[in-house]
Structure 1
Amino acid sequence: MASPITSSTGLGSGLNITEIVSALVTADTAAKKAQITRQTSNNTAMISGIGSLRSALTAFQDAMKKLNDKDAPSFNAFAATSGNEAVVKVKSSNAAVAGSYDIKVINLATASKVASQSFAGGASTSIPEGELTISQGDNDYKVNVAAGSTLQSVRDQINKELGAKGLSANIVNEESGSRLVIGSTTTGKGSDISVSGIAELEIDGTSKMTGTGAGYITDLAKDAELTVDGLTVKSANNTISDAISGMTLELTGATASGAAGTATKITVAADNDGLKKSVQSFVDSYNTLQKAITSLTTTSRDADDNLVLGPLTNDPTTRSLLADVRKVLSEVGSGDQLTSLSQLGINTQKDGTLEFNTTKFTSAMNDKKLGTEVQQLFTGTNGIFERMNKAIDPYNATDGSLATRKANLDKVAKNLSDQQAALDRRTDSLTESLTKKYVALDTALGKMKAQADQITSIFEAINAQAKKS
């Protein structure tokens, strides 16, 4: 930044040196300063515009990702409900069929839990060195127990080395002593745990624990068992996706026995309201993107009626992006009967936003029975979401064209900053140089004025003397 010029008036000349120097420096630097200011303003606006555009694109892609969540899928033509979620919860996919089913859960799938013999010495009981083998189904897991180990250190070692395998160990202290208890997240018949290799810790997971001896606790691991409309279904897991086509059952409890054991009714019906909500979410997220782009590219008028350009007005990259995105909306999909958004009542308006005609949508669902194809249109292979992301990624990816533009604009900003710093240095240097010259000139004029005054005094003295004589 240029140093301010201290106001001063020449003693010899009476001229305002500060104003003279300032005017000369301004005349020399004004054009360059105006150029840097204008270019910096434009470049800053472009950087801000690119950042806003990327944020809008990311928000739109996040919205599509949420609508395409595999764990909570949108655009399902059917919705399933459970009459008693304390027994069974249910999710339906687009492959479901309208209908109802009676579910009785006889028992849940359980995991194996076994205990070692009881150790009177508690958790600090010494365990001999050796290779401990923990077997479950077809899997054998080895744990090398070092010399000096205790019941507690073995527990910690099992948790550290086999926790990722779904096995966990703990110590339970009962009246007769302490036991090493091993459990598993794996459920189903045949997943019982056995331990061998070190005699003190051997456990036969198929034998019930008695007295102070080792064995399984409570019961063997078993499969879930349920009936669907009286038909028996068994599963090693409590989440079952193949019992009823298009539905996933999550067993949460057993059906009460006796007269109270009424079957839980699962009902599957068309979910037109859910589909409409999902479609509306897509329309809203797209319109938010379109409005963001419009705000960045349109012109306006200021208070003096001067034309004000948006930060991305006439920007070729933004125009290309918008054209690619809009092209996706007009392309024909690969569905059977449903191939375009217009069939669902979605049309592009003059301002580029989408209009969602819910009356036409309802007709497409009820009269034309297009509900089962909505999911394919949006989230299927080569669906709208896939094609939309392919259109946006070349621009918004971390190595996309907008990121490249931003990097180049940052370089321009650095260059302009360097130019401004150089101009400030020139302004300081020129100000100092001109000030010195004008001060020197003022000093010379002062000396000349003093000499002139001295000569004038001499002549005045001579004249005065002459008049006296």
Structure 2
Amino acid sequence: MTTTSSSTTKYDPATTATQLATAYTADRQTMLTQQTTNAKNTASGLTKLQSALSAFESALNTLSAKKGVLANSATFSNTGVGTATATAAATAGSYSFFVEKLASANQVTYSGLSNASVAGGDTLKVALAGGASFNVNLAAADTNGDGLTAKEIAAAINAASGNNSTVTASTVTVGGQSQLVLQSTATGANGKITLDTSQIAAGSLKTALDSGNQLVPAQDAVIWLGDQGTGIKLQQSSNTYSAIDGVSMTFTKAMASGDQPVTLTVASDTSGTAANVQAFVDAYNTLQGVMGDLTSVGDPTKKIAAGIFANDTGLSVLNSRLGSAMRQSVGGLTLANYGIIANRDGTLTLDQGKLTKKMASDPDGLDKLFGQTTLGAQSGIFGDMDKYLELWTNSATGQITQRQNSVTKLQTSLTDRQATLDTQYNSAYKRYLDQFTQLQTLQAQMSQTTSIFDALFSNSSS
């Protein structure tokens, strides 16, 4: 509002209506805004908590899948012959192997296929020794009608119904002439490729397809546990073996007759065990960091706001249960015996020296302590944590899902309340605008009347 030199008050109806409508809804808007902000922060906090708990669960399951935190190593005396890995289930020991043959995938070439003539009913059957087979319509493969080429045959084989990538076809150019190359996608004797040309008319096409050149034979791997010819013969279609419990071996080079067998040594891997334990410590500390931020009481003196779940009893119980699981004893042993120390802030620290020393005297105790998350066979620290975390992370009935559903309902309610308040504000604004517009009109009329009287009395006095 402004005052003229004649002391007449003037109103801006829109400004005044805005001020009064805002004042009318101010208290309710302040409360609603705060509730909306809290709901948004709660939803964000639940998302962070869900992500942190899921990541920790994943870390537990990954370590449990190794069949133990205790790590083993498996190495060949000649690494050029093969590689090996061992799980916690492997038993320490030494084994001798002789690599007689490696498994290979059959590869065959066919030449003389330039512009080969094809009859209307020509059908090629491609078969593998293992029993798989499929038919190729060669007549349809001749896309331009000028005779089949190696490329057209290769395309037809790759696209044939029933192939399912069991055989791949390609071409190579030798001396200016294209050759068809067929390769089995599987190694071993069962991958041997044969072509049945009985439904192809006699001619250059049939002759070429009946005259394949074996580039790589289809053969099984033949490995001897012990010396060649006197040990145990292990024959299979793959070069990766799992004959020793807990050990996976992949052979990469065949040995010459008369060579001495290579030695595979399976032993405890101290550094691998330490890495597994450190992975658990890191995962637990990461979870503690997220939960610490969400439940922090803050520090008003330093203008540090409290976490969204600062007074949340549920999260306090969650943190307490995880801590209790960490402190449990199995067979009189605790994690502290293996150098896994709990700090005052709830995080963990690994003393690798203490871990190594304890592993030397009681390696099996560590796996018993940690246990596993396998459903139906949950045990130890991993099992206890996994069972309790399920109460929070279960997608159907978990605490996270229930809380998220509640927050979603609250946010929907707040949105509806905001819409109602907006309607009330608009109604108040319109009412005030009408009132002060009328007042402004009345003021103008009164000002005009006053001016008439002023002029009239001024003339009378003169």
Specify the TM-score bucket, using the shorter chain as the normaliser.
0.7 to 0.9
CA distance in 2, matches of 1:90, 1:375: 27
What amino acid maps onto 1:433 in structure 2? R
SS in 2 for 1:217: strand
Equivalent residue, structure 1, for 2:308: 311
Structure 1 residue 289, shift from structure 2 partner: 0.3
Structure 1 residue 47, shift from structure 2 partner: 1.7
SS in 2 for 1:80: strand
Q: Is the 8 A contact 1:168 1:183 kept in 2?
A: yes
Given the alignment, which residue of 339, 361, 366 partners 2:360? 366
Equivalent residue, structure 2, for 1:276: 274
Tell me whether 80-89 or 99-108 shows the greater mean CA deviation.
Answer: 99-108
1:145 matched to 2:137? The reply is: yes
SS in 2 for 1:311: coil
Structure 1 residues 112 and 394: CA distance shift in structure 2, 3 A? same
Paired residues for 1:280-291 under 5 Å? 280-291=278-289
Structure 1 residues 254 and 444: CA distance shift in structure 2, 3 A? same
Structure 1 residue 310, shift from structure 2 partner: 1.5
Equivalent residue, structure 2, for 1:431: 429
SS in 1 for 2:40: helix
CA-to-aligned-CA distance 1:185-228 (integer Å, 9 cap, x gap):
333346533222535599xxxxxxx9995256156433323444
Identify unmatched segments of 5+ residues in structure 2. Answer: 142-147
CA distance in 1, matches of 2:45, 2:84: 46
Equivalent residue, structure 2, for 1:81: 75
Structure 1 residue 238, shift from structure 2 partner: 0.9
Q: Is the 8 A contact 1:133 1:140 kept in 2?
A: no
Q: Is the 8 A contact 2:74 2:265 kept in 1?
A: yes
Structure 1 residue 66, shift from structure 2 partner: 4.2
CA-to-aligned-CA distance 1:238-268 (integer Å, 9 cap, x gap):
11111x443222111123567xx56544332
SS in 2 for 1:105: strand
Structure 1 residue 285, shift from structure 2 partner: 0.6
CA distance in 1, matches of 2:267, 2:450: 113
The TM-score, its normalising length taken from structure 2, stands at 0.78
Equivalent residue, structure 2, for 1:37: 33
SS in 2 for 1:100: strand
SS in 1 for 2:222: strand
Q: Is the 8 A contact 1:110 1:221 kept in 2?
A: yes
Equivalent residue, structure 2, for 1:206: none
Identify unmatched segments of 5+ residues in structure 1. Answer: 1-6, 203-209
Structure 1 residues 401 and 28: CA distance shift in structure 2, 3 A? same
Structure 1 residue 391, shift from structure 2 partner: 3.1
CA distance in 1, matches of 2:265, 2:95: 7
Structure 1 residues 167 and 348: CA distance shift in structure 2, 3 A? same
Q: Is the 8 A contact 1:123 1:178 kept in 2?
A: no
Paired residues for 1:308-457 under 5 Å? 308-323=305-320, 325-326=322-323, 328-329=325-326, 341-346=335-340, 348-370=342-364, 373=367, 377-378=371-372, 381-383=377-379, 384-385=381-382, 387-399=384-396, 400-445=398-443, 447-448=445-446, 451=449
Equivalent residue, structure 2, for 1:50: 46
CA-to-aligned-CA distance 1:349-400 (integer Å, 9 cap, x gap):
4433334444543343111232683697245541444554443344335444
Q: Is the 8 A contact 1:43 1:409 kept in 2?
A: yes
Structure 1 residues 222 and 17: CA distance shift in structure 2, 3 A? closer
SS in 2 for 1:274: helix
Given the alignment, which residue of 213, 218, 221 partners 1:221? 218
1:241 matched to 2:235? The reply is: no
Structure 1 residue 133, shift from structure 2 partner: 3.7
What amino acid maps onto 1:194 in structure 2? T
Equivalent residue, structure 1, for 2:169: 169
Q: What percentage of residue pairs aligned between the two structures are identical? A: 27
Q: Is the 8 A contact 2:195 2:210 kept in 1?
A: no
Equivalent residue, structure 2, for 1:134: 126
Tell me whether 451-460 or 82-91 shows the greater mean CA deviation.
Answer: 451-460
Structure 1 residues 316 and 272: CA distance shift in structure 2, 3 A? same
Structure 1 residue 100, shift from structure 2 partner: 3.4
Q: Is the 8 A contact 2:335 2:369 kept in 1?
A: no
What amino acid maps onto 1:82 in structure 2? F
Structure 1 residue 300, shift from structure 2 partner: 1.3
The TM-score, its normalising length taken from structure 1, stands at 0.77
Given the alignment, which residue of 9, 15, 18 partners 1:14? 9
CA-to-aligned-CA distance 1:158-209 (integer Å, 9 cap, x gap):
323455363223345556966544322333346533222535599xxxxxxx
1:61 matched to 2:57? The reply is: yes
Structure 1 residues 211 and 135: CA distance shift in structure 2, 3 A? closer
Q: Is the 8 A contact 1:345 1:358 kept in 2?
A: yes
Structure 1 residue 281, shift from structure 2 partner: 0.9
CA distance in 1, matches of 2:208, 2:27: 99
State the Cα RMSD in Å.
Answer: 4.0
Equivalent residue, structure 2, for 1:196: 196
CA distance in 2, matches of 1:104, 1:201: 49
CA distance in 2, matches of 1:112, 1:436: 91
CA-to-aligned-CA distance 1:303-350 (integer Å, 9 cap, x gap):
487x943211223443454355445445677xxx59864553445444
SS in 2 for 1:95: coil
Structure 1 residues 59 and 95: CA distance shift in structure 2, 3 A? closer
Equivalent residue, structure 2, for 1:113: 107
Equivalent residue, structure 2, for 1:25: 21
CA distance in 2, matches of 1:385, 1:216: 57
Structure 1 residue 31, shift from structure 2 partner: 1.2
1:266 matched to 2:261? The reply is: no
What amino acid maps onto 1:314 in structure 2? N
